[in-house]
Amino acid sequence: MNQAKHIHIIGICGTFMGGIAALAKQAGYRVTGCDANVYPPMSTQLEAQGIELIEGFGVEQLSLMPDMFVIGNVVTRGNPLMEEILNRNLPYISGPQWLADTILRDKWVLGVAGTHGKTTTSAMLAWVLEYAKLNPCFLIGGVPENFGISARLTDSPFFIIEADEYDTAFFDKRSKFVHYHPRTAILNNLEFDHADIFADLAAIETQFHHLVRTVPGNGLVVSNGREASLDKVLQRGCWTPIERFGTDAGWQIDADNRVSLNGVEQGTLHWELLGEHNRQNALAALAAARHVGVPIAQGLAAFAEFKNVKRRMEVRGVVNDITVYDDFAHHPTAVKTTVAGLRHKVGKARILAVLEPRSNTMKLGVMKDALPDSLKDADLVFCYAGNLGWDARGALAPLGDKAIVKDDLNELIETIAAAVKSGDQILVMSNGGFGGIHEKLLKKLA
């Protein structure tokens, strides 16, 4: 076990590293950190916990003399602070490895993996265990509304973690999730993503295979029975019992939200959430919770009080009967699902989709040809193309006149404000801060 008492986190403002900072603080460490982009909600959350934040990666931070530098995966060779750590042979470790060595070692880890739905499913699972009075620890890549914080350490044996397939650090190219050694593993879905580090879907399948190899024989793999790519992963070798969801030979949910297991009805899901994807997420959470002893009926009862995660179809404001939503959708499949969910909710009302293709995969343009189809249910589409390395106008051309692309954020806001009418639903989608567009739009509309 690492006995370091002061850690300095480089790249602290991502949701994952910010969560590690919160856990370390709760575990009694002195925690400091730095990043290039210190913005809410993570900066606010960290400062509220008494974590000292430094803007930038200046070498003068070495004077803090921490016992250990914890390195986020945004840090690359050439980063001035990292270069000096290497030159002086100072102790450093990746975030996932630090977490595994220091916090997870003695826990029953419930890992939630998949291309989509990790954050929401992790939040669901944490809430179901909380409702069952199991007081779980968790580290989630977003802020679950039921808790108001993305990470929590308790004396519970259970630890829920969003198990990300992105790489660990510049010096460790394995997926983060191979460090966590879950006893209960949810495999939500598996599509091509992270085109900046994975050559193709097969490369990601291999990482998922490595994850499955770490789940013990007395554990459980909860897998989406509708996903051929996950079946392919499991066929490569699985030493653990498997429960599938989304299929009649396993966990299933019907049009009336009645949940069954192996064809036997278990009860009904009553909640406010939208979309088929969330119904499937709920099945995965119920299965994982049952593995740690939560009866299905109690799990279903918990969902009646589930409040979702910030930035998942979060209403940021209503002005003159115009609603502005914030959503994290950053992959064409997620965009399509989000737009479809809102369409189901608002019926014939106009949806104005506002997209910032900001994730590494989107910025590389690998998914650009899938965008028109994912946005087809929207009435108008506004795309911010600042700093994009590909032709957004060309990519969205199949949408015709309903797609508007702007390279300047203020011009984009003016254009949206000019187009909007009473009763419209403005759906903003980005995995970043998007220049504070939500507040700027609401101010403009007022």
CATH of the domain at 193: 3.40.1190.10
The region, left, alpha or beta by phi > 0 then psi within -120 to 50, assigned to residue 116 is beta
Burial of 261 (0-12, 13-18, 19+ CB in 10 A): middle
The Cα 79–Cα 77 span in angstroms is 5
Closest CA to 118 of 177, 59, 195: 177
**Are 39 and 117 in a shared domain?**
no
Three-class DSSP category at 125: helix
- What is residue 364's predicted lDDT score, i.e. its pLDDT? 64
Read off the DSSP letter of residue 331.
S
Q: Is residue 143 part of a domain?
A: yes
Residues 67 and 14 in one domain: yes
pLDDT recorded at residue 25? 95
Shared-domain flag, residues 138 and 282: yes
Distance CA 310, CA 307 (A): 9
Same domain, 177 and 231: yes
Hey, how many other C-beta atoms are within 10 angstroms of the C-beta on 270? 11
Residues 341 and 419 placed together within one structural domain of the fold: yes
- In Å, what is the CA distance from 205 to each residue of 58, 176, 186, 250? 38, 14, 15, 23
Indicate if 132 and 73 belong to the same structural domain: no
Same domain, 225 and 366: no
Domain span at residue 354?
A: 314-445
For position 368, what pLDDT does the model report?
A: 80
Per-position pLDDT tens, the chain of length 446: 445 599 999 999 888 999 999 999 999 999 999 999 777 767 887 888 899 999 999 999 999 999 999 999 999 999 999 999 999 999 999 999 999 999 999 999 999 999 888 999 999 999 999 999 999 999 998 888 898 888 999 999 999 999 988 889 999 999 999 999 999 999 998 876 655 666 678 888 999 999 999 999 999 999 999 999 999 999 999 999 999 999 999 999 998 999 999 999 999 999 878 778 899 999 999 999 999 999 999 999 999 999 887 677 788 899 889 999 988 776 787 788 789 888 878 889 999 999 998 766 666 666 788 889 989 989 999 999 887 778 888 889 999 999 999 999 999 999 999 999 999 999 998 877 788 898 899 988 88
Whether residue 325 sits in one domain with residue 291: no
Task: Please report the sign of the dihedral spanned by the C-alpha atoms of residue 30, residue 35, residue 41, residue 47.
Answer: positive
Q: What is the spatial distance between Cα 338 and Cα 211, in angstroms, rounded to a whole number?
A: 28
Count of domains forming the chain: 3
Domain boundary among 303, 323, 341: 303
Torsion angle defined by CA atoms of residues 184, 187, 303 and 252, in that order, rounded to the nearest 10 degrees: -110
Q: Final residue of a domain: which of 65, 95, 125? A: 95
Token pair belonging to 153: 């350490």
Residues with Cβ within 8 Å of 279's Cβ and at least 6 positions away in sequence, in order, are 253, 257, 269
pLDDT reported for residue 1: 42
Residue 100 maps to a domain: no
| 125 and 58 together in one domain | no
Q: Are 295 and 134 in contact (CB under 8 A)?
A: no
The closest of 376, 362, 39 to 192, measured between CA atoms, is 362
Please tell me the pTM assigned to this model. 0.77
Query: Do 172 and 258 fall into the same domain?
Result: yes
Distance CA 140, CA 339 (A): 24
Q: What is the DSSP letter of 40?
A: T
Last residue within a domain, chosen from 279, 303, 327: 303
The verdict on residue 178 lying in a domain is yes
Q: Note whether 274 and 361 are same-domain residues.
A: no
CA dihedral 169, 170, 174, 178 (to 10 degrees): -20
Residue 36 lies in a domain: yes
Rg of the chain (C-alpha set): 22
